[in-house]
Chain A
Amino acid sequence: MTGFHWLLDGSIVGVYLLVTMAAGLAMRRYVGRVEDFLVAGREMDVFLGIASLAATEFGIVSCMYAAENGYKFGFAGATPGILMALAMLVVGLTGFCIKPLRDSGVITIPELIEKKFGPRIRWAAGVVIVLGGLLNMGVFLRVGGEFLVLVAGLDVKYLEIMMTVMLVGVAAYTILGGMLSVLVTDFLQFIVMSAGLIVVTILILYRTSWHTLVATVETKYGAGGFNPFLNENLGWSYVIFNALLNTAAVLTWQTTIARVLAARDTATGRKIYSRTSFFFVCRFLIPGVWGMAALAALGHVENTLHAMPRYLGMVVPPGLMGLLIAAMLAADMSTDSSYMLTWGSIIYNDILAPFRRTAWSERKGLIVNRFIVAMIGVFLLFYGLWYPLQGPLWNYLTITGTIYLASISTLLIAACYWSRANTWGAVACIVVSAVIPISFLVLQQYPPTTAWANRIGSDRFGIAAFVSSGVAMVVGSFLKNSLMPTISAEAKHA
């Protein structure tokens, strides 16, 4: 039994969905070129960028894993958010990598990588980005559907239907309006999402006092609930891996970097980063508080991912429940639309680049882009239905994200700042950083090696991927410079 009231809460959700869909579809008339579709004609200003970045980076899936972190690790579970906020602030203030990237006028990161390493590396980088990104977002729909079913108290048999309806709605405006629809709907979704998050957090803190939260975490996890280094399930490897991962995400995560590339100019892109940075603390700590409140109220539960939505279903009253569900739908729709579009942009701009030797008309380009977004939607639907999630959600997301974050961040840094980097280093870097995380996923799914893979843990596999990626770039580049100095020198001059 939950506080969901069909007439009251259903009306709130219905109005939200209608307004968002109408706004998203209305932007279609401004899309005349591929650049409008992929990067909003590079007309985005600071505040729209902040709203869009925040809405995109907070989906139901982020809410669920951050709450699960709070439930399982206490306040220490907010560590990834703090690390990401620091990374984003530093990158925004210094312009590290994002300045040369935006100054170059490219639409995607692989396009910049081509300038340094050639078209084949651009293509390979595109494949790696799409592989990592799609595996990562493959679980979004299921997790989002689970949340909505649990909070609203619906029958689990409706999960697939809810997932499909949600995806079709998001796909409709993304396919028609591209980045322009994504930005405008993100803005509306940011307002609804933020209102819901703030009101529900205040309600939870009112119901579960600060003292109860702290006492629960202290009783359950001791000092490790407040300090990640003292937590037996986190520790140094967790902190180091998350520092590397979040810095790489700030530099190269497709949905994040798309805001820099869609910004009016470099200064705007940097301001969006520095001014949004603290949001990433909120992104982990606010749902983390929900998770800790669920721990205080429910005690031990079998499925830790479901603790927070079950708790919300119990404590949020009718009326506010409609706002909460609208907020979470907003969060999820903004994330899904942006993910479909930005990963689609890599497929069009980089993976299909060899097939576009003669320039395509804007009309043909738009049709192909829309088709790609639709196909990503179909993939999400089927992958989301059958992939069995093993272990904590955050670990799955980080390890699939690492497939490309490790190599692409290394390639980007080398392309921007290391003149001696070359194709050998780039190839070695891409191979190494894809093989290590994929090995972990395979070993974890294969019963005889599951225990071994889990004993080593996703954090150590992740650190190995980042370190090996950098080493592979340096060793590969030095090898080529030493063994084939003439070719390297010619390439450098070219």
Chain B
Amino acid sequence: MPEHPIWWLLTMACIVWYSTITIYVSIKGAADIRHMTDRLSGRDDSQS
């Protein structure tokens, strides 16, 4: 185990978690934007 294992684990957890969440959020977030703009467009249509 490297020196100061708690800080080592936390640093590695940051890199792994951040890499994973970036890819996941990139895919899911794009879908969220599409749904959000669809809803906003739909609302405008129904109001006009």
Contact = CB atoms under 8 A, between A and B. Distances in A.
A187 B22 CA distance: 10
B20 to A, nearest CB: 10
Contact of B15 (A41, A47, A202): A202
Contacts, number: 93
Interface string B1-20: 01110011011011101110
A197 B29 contact: no
A353 interface: no
Interface residues of B, number: 32
Interface string A193-208: 0110110011001000
Interface stretch (A159-167, A279-287, A340-348): A279-287
A187 B29 contact: yes
Contact of B25 (A36, A190, A195, A226): A190
Q: Is the interface of B mostly helix, strand, loop or mixed?
A: helix
Given A30-B41, A50-B29, A45 B36 contact: yes
A210 B2 contact: yes
Q: Is the interface of A mostly helix, strand, loop or mixed?
A: helix
Contact of B32 (A48, A54, A226, A281): A48
Contacts of B37: 30
Interface in B25-43: 25-26, 28-33, 35-37, 39-41, 43
A40 B29 contact: no
B40 A281 contact: no
Given A75-B4, A187-B33, A282 B22 contact: no
A41 to B, nearest CB: 6
B1 to A, nearest CB: 11
A100 B24 CA distance: 30
Contacts of B4: 75, 214, 226
B8 A285 contact: no
A47 B32 contact: yes
Nearest to B44: A32
Instruction: Select the residue from B2, B32, B37, B40 with max chain A CB neighbours within 10 A.
Output: B32
A369 B10 CA distance: 42
A315 B12 CA distance: 21
A51 B15 contact: no
Given A48-B33, A51-B29, A198-B18, A226 B7 contact: yes
Nearest to A23: B33
B2 A50 contact: no
Contacts of B3: 210-211, 214
A54 B8 CA distance: 23
Given A41-B40, A214-B4, A281 B29 contact: no
A226 B43 CA distance: 54
B14 A282 contact: yes
A184 B32 contact: no
Nearest to B36: A43
Contacts of A282: 14, 17-18
A289 B14 CA distance: 11
A89 interface: no
A201 B7 contact: no
A337 B27 CA distance: 23
Given A30-B41, A50-B29, A210-B8, A45 B35 contact: yes
A366 B12 CA distance: 46
A46 B19 CA distance: 18
Contacts of B40: 30, 36, 41, 43, 180
Contacts of B41: 30
Instruction: Select the residue from A54, A279, A285 with max chain B CB neighbours within 10 A.
Output: A285
Contact of A40 (B15, B28, B31, B36): B36
A148 interface: no
Nearest to A195: B22
Contacts of B14: 278, 281-282, 285-286
- 3 smallest beta-carbon distances between A and B, as pairs: A47-B28, A48-B32, A194-B22
